[in-house]
Homo-oligomer: A and B are copies of this chain.
Amino acid sequence: MSSRPRVVIIGGGFGGLYAAQSLRGAPLEVTLVDRRNFHLFQPLLYQVATGGLSPGDVSSPLRYVLRRQKNARVLLAEAVDFDVAARKVLLRDGEALEYDFLVVATGAQTNYFSNQEWQERAPGLKSVEDATEIRRRILTAFETAERHPEGSDRDAWLTFVVIGGGPTGVELAGSIAELARDTLPRDFRHIDTRRARIVLVEGRDRLLPAFSEKLSRAARQSLMELGVEVRTDTMVKAIEAGRVRLEGPDGQEELAARTVLWGAGVRASPLGETLAERTGAETDRGGRLMVEPDLSLKGHPEIMVIGDLACFTHQTGSPLPGVAPVAIQQGKHVSRVVRARMQGKQSGPAFRYSDRGNLATIGRSRAVAEIGPVKMSGLPAWLLWVVVHIYWLIEFENRLLVLIQWAWSYFTWNRSARLITGADGRGGPADHTESGGTESSREGSREEKKEEEAA
């Protein structure tokens, strides 16, 4: 081994991957550790969940992305603990990785707050497996409705409740509506999929609270045009088998719904908690670690935390949002800090987030966008969304294909990746909120989800 400083980066999401790339050409040994062998392009995951794209279309092998970066290697492994005094990362398989600089970017996972039991009944959308599970549930619901006699149970199978009015919830609700209205109608003989009911529930008084009020209204309008029922100021009180209880401005309401999806919140990955214990770092309510202006931990200038795992408050007084642009910019900032420290400086330059605006898509030709003072909605915003994502995807090279796939879906209204896969996908419809699949396979997937983001 050489004596060049070793940088260990944990997590191959936007933060970790851009951190690794920003160190290209530096006289360092960079090791990127992830439990998965691919980077997931999360902004398009909802397309996988609704059958528009395949998992392979929104993933790039980490080794492939970094193949030309000579000072970087990829390690498929799970970090489980830290020895911060000895500067070591401990891996699940018993090995230890020494570091001179450590970058932790293990992101966030779906948060059910104090209702962990909802996890099984209302899956979140963070991993490829989450997406194919949601896809399975949505498609199985239509299949089951097709086989049910007309009546309330058929209606419950045709009712989809999406909890959370942030970008994930809005995108999911819009896509399900398009699937039901445009893609599926001709496929079924007994049900009219256009009559499917899609309900989007948000606890606050408007959708997309990170956007301006005007755009929140535009988003709501677009969703309503697609036939989505939007309930703001509404809290979820209970999720039971085939039923959701809501409490809104007009009192309590019970919806008979067989498919419930969760986009209401995230919390920091469990590895963040371990890191906080080992370093004494403070965390916020969501489990994110408070970082110094240069993204390092207090008392540990050699450890940086970035992306959804970091709580950065030095710019505006409130934490930066957990979105891809923040993670990317923080990832790129890592190289500045490392270079400064290698030049003997006590601390790195302060991170500054440059907010280039907000974008959310609602469906085909429908989106909302906010770039500084400019606000747009409808087709112009959607075209902007497409251009931005094209530009972004091209950084991952051969992802151009995804665009061709998109263009294709756009002109044909088809969604070609409508596969029901996994153990539960066999043997016909089942009540997926209660039974479905063997006990053993469900145990497996439950465990998976729990450990999801502890890369």
Q: Which residues of A contact B (CB under 8 A)?
A: 35-38, 53-57, 59-61, 63-64, 67-68, 73-78, 91-93, 128-129, 139, 143, 146-147, 184, 186-190, 398-401, 404-405, 408, 412, 414, 416-423, 425-429, 437-438, 440-441, 443-445, 447-448, 451
Q: Which chain B positions have C-beta within 8 A of A184?
A: 63
Q: Which chain B positions have C-beta within 8 A of A412?
A: 398
The answer to whether A75 and B147 touch across the interface, beta carbons within 8 angstroms, is yes
The answer to whether A143 and B68 touch across the interface, beta carbons within 8 angstroms, is no
The answer to whether B38 and A187 touch across the interface, beta carbons within 8 angstroms, is no
Q: Which chain B positions have C-beta within 8 A of A37?
A: 139, 143, 418-420, 425
Considering only CB atoms, which chain B residue lies closest to A143 in the complex? B76
Q: Which chain B positions have C-beta within 8 A of A56?
A: 53-54, 56, 416-419
Tell me, in angstroms, the Cα distance from A398 to B245 when the chains sit together: 41
Q: Which chain B positions have C-beta within 8 A of A400?
A: 408
Q: Which chain B positions have C-beta within 8 A of A55?
A: 54, 417, 419, 421
Smallest Cβ distance from A310 to chain B, in angstroms?
A: 24
Tell me, in angstroms, the Cα distance from A37 to B438 when the chains sit together: 19
Tell me, in angstroms, the Cα distance from A412 to B399 when the chains sit together: 12
The answer to whether B444 and A441 touch across the interface, beta carbons within 8 angstroms, is yes
Tell me, in angstroms, the Cα distance from A412 to B397 when the chains sit together: 10
Considering only CB atoms, which chain B residue lies closest to A444 in the complex? B441
Decide yes or no: A128 and B35 within 8 Å by CB, A54-B55, A401-B408, A426-B78 being known contacts. no
22 contacts between A and B (CB under 8 A): A35-B426, A37-B418, A54-B56, A54-B417, A55-B419, A60-B416, A61-B187, A61-B418, A64-B414, A67-B186, A73-B190, A76-B143, A76-B147, A78-B427, A92-B428, A128-B421, A129-B422, A398-B412, A401-B404, A423-B447, A426-B451, A440-B443
Smallest Cβ distance from A141 to chain B, in angstroms?
A: 12
Q: Could you say how many copies of this chain the assembly holds?
A: 2
Q: Which chain B positions have C-beta within 8 A of A448?
A: 423, 426
By Cβ-Cβ distance, the 9 closest A-B pairs, closest first, are A441-B444, A56-B417, A54-B54, A63-B187, A54-B56, A440-B440, A77-B428, A67-B186, A78-B427
Q: Which chain B positions have C-beta within 8 A of A91?
A: 428
Tell me, in angstroms, the Cα distance from A425 to B129 when the chains sit together: 11
Decide yes or no: A414 and B438 within 8 Å by CB, A36-B426, A143-B37, A423-B444 being known contacts. no
Q: Which chain B positions have C-beta within 8 A of A426?
A: 35-36, 78, 448, 451
Smallest Cβ distance from A186 to chain B, in angstroms?
A: 4
Considering only CB atoms, which chain B residue lies closest to A72 in the complex? B189
Q: Which chain B positions have C-beta within 8 A of A74?
A: 187
* A37-B425, A57-B416, A77-B427 known, 15 other contacts, Cβ within 8 Å: A36-B426, A61-B187, A63-B187, A67-B187, A68-B186, A73-B189, A76-B428, A78-B427, A92-B428, A128-B419, A129-B422, A400-B408, A427-B451, A438-B443, A441-B444
Partner of A447, one of B60, B61, B190, B438: B438
Most chain B beta-carbon contacts within 10 A, residue among A129, A139, A189: A189
Tell me, in angstroms, the Cα distance from A405 to B53 when the chains sit together: 13
Partner of A64, one of B73, B187, B437: B187
Decide yes or no: A414 and B398 within 8 Å by CB, A73-B189, A91-B428, A92-B428 being known contacts. yes
Smallest Cβ distance from A244 to chain B, in angstroms?
A: 25
Tell me, in angstroms, the Cα distance from A398 to B78 when the chains sit together: 40
Q: Which chain B positions have C-beta within 8 A of A189?
A: 73
Tell me, in angstroms, the Cα distance from A405 to B189 when the chains sit together: 33
Most chain B beta-carbon contacts within 10 A, residue among A54, A186, A404: A54
Partner of A445, one of B77, B419, B420, B423: B423
Smallest Cβ distance from A190 to chain B, in angstroms?
A: 8
Smallest Cβ distance from A423 to chain B, in angstroms?
A: 5
Smallest Cβ distance from A339 to chain B, in angstroms?
A: 23
